[in-house]
Amino acid sequence: MFSGRELDVMNALWDLGSATVSEVLETLPDDLAYTTVLTILQRLKRKGHVRHEDEGQAHRYFPLVQREEAQDNAIKRVTRKLFSDSPELLMTRMVTKGGLTKDQLEDLRDLLDERLKKRGET
């Protein structure tokens, strides 16, 4: 859905709620040119992922796609492309190779137990 740079810019917009090109630039870890960020925002606008409003001589950009929606789409795409459309294989890989801490694994176990209880399967 998003390229790496587009995702960097979207993360800035999601974190800030809305932003001008200059405000996005301030949040990015890489040293990019103003025109580069502007081009990315214009491309995101053409794709329907952001909108803008005039704010003086600048444009204020607003995300039209929610972070959670992008996360869901990314997970679906990775699951389909890399894990033979198997969420179980994805989760297995995350648990065995994801570098999760003991606390994170226990949180996952609690979440799974909770989900199973809601489905009446425990």
At residue 122, the pLDDT reads 53
30 DSSP assignment: S
**Which is it for the CA torsion 98, 101, 104, 110, positive or negative?**
positive
Give the integer Cα–Cα distance in Å for 41 and 43: 5
In the chain (122 residues long), the average pLDDT of successive 10-residue segments reads 92 97 94 95 97 95 96 94 94 90 94 90 57
- Distance of CA 83 to CAs 61, 87, 113, Å? 35, 7, 24
For residue 25, what are the contacts with CB-CB under 8 A and spacing of at least 6? 32, 34, 37
